Amino acid sequence: MEKELIGNAIKASFFKLDPRVMVKNPIMFIVEIGFALTLLLAFIPSAFGSSEVNVWFNLTVSLILLFTVLFANFAEALAEGRGMAQANSLKNSKKEMTANKLKPNGEIEKTDSASLRKGDIVVVSQGEFIPGDGEIISGLASVDESAITGESAPVIKEAGGDFNSVTGGTKVVSDQIKVRITSEPGESFLDKMISLVEGAQRQKTPNEIALNTVLTSLTLIFMIVVVTLPLFTNYLGFELEIPVLIALLVCLIPTTIGGLLSAIGIAGMDRVTQFNVIAMSGKAVEAAGDINTIILDKTGTITFGNRMASEFIPAGNHAMQDFAQWTAISSLEDETPEGRSVLELLKKKQLSYQTDIAIGGTFIEFKAETRMSGMDLADGSVVRKGAVDAVKKWVISQGGTIPSDLDKKTDEISKAGGTPLAVAMNDQIFGLIYLKDTVKPGMKERFDKLRSMGIKTVMCTGDNPLTAATIAKEAGVDEFIAECKPEDKIEVIKYEQSQGKLVAMTGDGTNDAPALAQADVGLAMNSGTAAAKEAANMVDLDSNPTKIIEVVSIGKQLLMTRGALTTFSIANDIAKYFAIIPAMFMLAIPEMNVLNIMRLDSPISAVLSALIFNAIIIPVLIPLAMKGVSYKPMSSNALLSRNLLIYGLGGVLVPFIGIKGIDVVLAMIL
């Protein structure tokens, strides 16, 4: 509720009075027509046979109807304004940059980022901004994505695998990478984000269209009632003024929800954006509210995606401290995720080691032929780390022997779903490093929450059944599918959909793209590949797969908010009927006064009170429409009962109190 945001929304409220804009909202368009007619009656009463005495009444009704329309426009403009503010902050990230374009002859050419085309290769060094969306084809770098995600911690991006996607406007904070541009100018992920957040491509969802149809039908029915009403009153011997008929129509039609419906939908998409999730359509947000099953890819989604050291297992008669020493030496200059995780685990387990032993040594990088890496020390000693069978052959070639318990411990690690790495120094194997794809922290608690919401979780992985079962148990998912191929994921989604369920899918790899496209809600990780992000209808900028919980909650909140305000809108019409209908007829039919249960002062004050309440209830409900009704996991029956009690009963009682209060004030003025 910033001053600038409100100011812009007020201005937009008047611009939206354009009939070409208002016609898109039939209910409020009818109110605007009512405003025009009553305004005309106020200045040219004779044109419609109205008496001069009612000029002030006509003008008052006209002003009230104008404010009713303006308040509805303000609600929509305020919701749009929030999206525009978010878009402007994103635009600050989209700036013209100089790109180091790699020419075919190997030379680097300085060029404007706007001139880059799909397929161009650029070199980005430390301190430079990535000039466009792309995929890393060479190198590894730490990338600051705070301009896009809001997260201050840099992320590691490297060539190959599912973490090679980079976004234009992000900054390289270390090392150097070569990037192949994957988007044409104006079609980058940031461009799409800005367009979506601004709401330029927002389309009404199926439920919203259906509700609009119902509300429009009700409006047409009440129009027919009001138009034919003078025929009956003329038969009874009295005439109803046109402004009174217009006031009756405005009070009969569901103006409250009609004025807030668009704002509710826009605000729903904005709330998703506040969680750093970009929704490609309102339909995706709405569908999230009805999700029954979530399919999750394991690698990079439930787990970190890189094998990490989780345990050190000495072999033979070697002590843990000796094993830790040579394990550290073998990993000091190993910049792979596995190598870094070894040093982190040593630190975590408080296992000390001497780094000066490695001074003057030569690091031996991992090679596919040897399947080992390590260090050749200055004193002639040789340290190796790698696949168990490769290290065993190497030790035997050095004249050494294999510890008797090595094979048994290797099998135990493999059966548990892990990967064993052997560490050797000269002719001795000191032990095994237990590598496993580590489950991300807090996953089990998040899946428990999904379960309480009635949502089933299914993990898909290409791992063998034993490894899959281990990860599934640790993560706490309901079901898992092992040795899963891309087509298997689609079949799972189709099967669930054939059971009448709505399915969500989270993933980050190119192999996830077909399933993301098939799912009702496809949530791609921003750290994933361009193909995954293109196939999905939502992108999580934080690359947190459990963000689907927030997305589902917001979807349910959107549906609840729309239902609650529709219930309130229809319920408060009851009070308006009791205010305006007796006022219209009590002079000609005194017996109608028995319906004046609110004991309103006069027919004029009754009509004006109902109209004023009808207008001011819209801005009063704007905060609720923008923030949304709070969501708590509960059954559908409990939710319906709560909705009817709060918004149904409240929708009946609040107007009685409000209209009576306004009538008391008007009675003193009149």
Beta bridge partners of 456: 293
Identity (one letter) of the amino acid at 341?
S
Please say whether the beta carbons of 393 and 382 come within 8 A.
Answer: no
From the list 297, 334, 437, 463, the catalytic residue is 297
**Rounded Cα–Cα distance for residues 535 and 553 (Å):** 23
- Taking alpha carbons only, the member of 202, 285, 363 closest to residue 522 is 285
CA angle 540, 546, 547 (to 5 degrees): 40
Token duo for residue 58: 């006509």
Token duo for residue 245: 């008929």
Token duo for residue 67: 């404010």
Torsion-angle region of residue 504: left (phi > 0), alpha (psi -120 to 50) or beta? Answer: beta
SS3 486: helix
Please say whether the beta carbons of 364 and 331 come within 8 A.
Answer: no
Please say whether the beta carbons of 592 and 582 come within 8 A.
Answer: yes
3-state secondary structure 185-221: CCCCHHHHHHHHHHCCCCCCCHHHHHHHHHHHHHHHH
Distance of CA 230 to the CA centre of its chain: 51
Measured CA distances, 586 to 229, 249, 589 (Å): 15, 18, 5
Active site residue 297: yes
Token duo for residue 495: 């099967």
- Taking alpha carbons only, the member of 409, 459, 457 closest to residue 437 is 459
Please say whether the beta carbons of 554 and 532 come within 8 A.
Answer: no
- Helices and strands in the chain, H and E counts: 23, 21
Enumerate residues 6+ apart whose C-beta is below 8 A from 597.
Answer: 578
**Residues with active-site annotation:** 297
